[in-house]
Amino acid sequence: MTGSAVPSPFRLAYVPGATPAKWARIWQERLPDVPLELLQVSAAEAPEVLRRGEADAGLVRLPVDRAYFSAIPLYTETTVVVVPKDHLFVAADEVAVADLADEIVFHPLDDTLGWEQPPGRPAIERPATTEDALELVAAGVGVLVVPQSLARLYHRRDLTYRPVADVPQSSVALAWPEERTTDGVEDFIGIVRGRTVNSTRGRRQAAPAEQPAKRAAAPRRKPAPGRRGASGGAQPAKGAARRGKPRRRS
């Protein structure tokens, strides 16, 4: 007795701060027979995980190599500055980048904002990770500028954050190797784009069989005067066109 084949799982990588939970729930509702595996990876290693085929697609931070990857931008995050709860910035609704000029601003090695020139005064050493930088912020050594999702992910009771104007922002996208656009990828694209369960736009469809064109029915001709239809009846004699001309006597 042989059992039915178990479908291969769809493997989705995601970077810290990205939240696949809503889309994972919709996947499970629509495709309950196809397991969904979630793999958290750092923002820096996400492209290589996809290149090596360790995941079918990923929620990654832009930019990515568009010569190799297809990508659908999903949203752009607010950038915030994380500070101790007794910091002066807490009194403001929004912080200007110029307000950071006198602050030590940490720039961790896993930074995702892609600064041309980070604001503020640099620390003596760059922290290895965002979490390490937040430990230093909690100690009152400096502040940290990050996408809002990371401030929420690494939330601490002794820290808070405020939006920062006129600074780089981080965008999250669904990305996958263009040469490996599988049916699973197409299904997930449909989910993140909000397509309904009955929509066929998300998955590649086989071209429908070509139907033979119907021949248009020829219009019925009205019988000419003096002529009857196909049901039978007298037809005009061949010489009818000469009717009325006198016959030549021999």
Task: Tell me how far apart the alpha carbons of residues 118 and 145 are, in angstroms, rounded to a whole number.
Answer: 9
Domain positions in the chain are 10-76+171-192, 79-165
Residue ranges of E strands in the chain:
10-14, 36-40, 57-61, 69-76, 79-84, 95-96, 105-106, 143-147, 159-165, 171-177
List all residues 6 or more positions away from 214 whose beta carbon is below 8 Å from its beta carbon: none
Under a CB-based contact definition with an 8 Å cutoff, are residues 76 and 170 in contact? yes
More confident residue, 206 or 129: 129
Closest CA relative to residue 172, chosen from 15, 25, 9, 1: 15
Would the pLDDT of 163 be above 70?
A: yes
Mean pLDDT of 186-204: 78
Mean pLDDT of 175-192: 96
Check residue 193 and report its DSSP letter.
T
* Domains 10-76+171-192 and 79-165 in one fold: yes
Closest CA relative to residue 160, chosen from 213, 84, 78: 84
Using pLDDT thresholds of 50, 70 and 90, give the confidence band for residue 51: very high
The pLDDT assigned to 31 comes to 95
Using pLDDT thresholds of 50, 70 and 90, give the confidence band for residue 132: very high
pLDDT-wise least confident of 30-34, 63-67, 114-118: 114-118
The pLDDT tens digits for 54-96 are 999 999 999 999 999 999 999 999 999 999 999 999 999 999 9
In 126-223, where does DSSP find H-type helix?
130-138, 148-153, 183-192
- Mean pLDDT value across the chain: 85
Q: What architecture (CATH level 2) is domain 79-165?
A: 3-Layer(aba) Sandwich (3.40)
Name 165's bridge partners.
Answer: 96
The pLDDT assigned to 203 comes to 53
Would the pLDDT of 242 be above 70?
A: no
The pLDDT assigned to 190 comes to 96
Query: Right CATH number for 10-76+171-192 from 3.40.190.10, 1.10.10.10, 3.40.50.1110, 3.40.50.300?
Result: 3.40.190.10
Is pTM, for the whole model, over 0.85? no
For residue 129, report the phi and psi dihedrals to the nearest 5 degrees: -135, 165
The pLDDT assigned to 195 comes to 86
Task: Tell me how far apart the alpha carbons of residues 61 and 17 are, in angstroms, rounded to a whole number.
Answer: 10
Would the pLDDT of 200 be above 80?
A: no
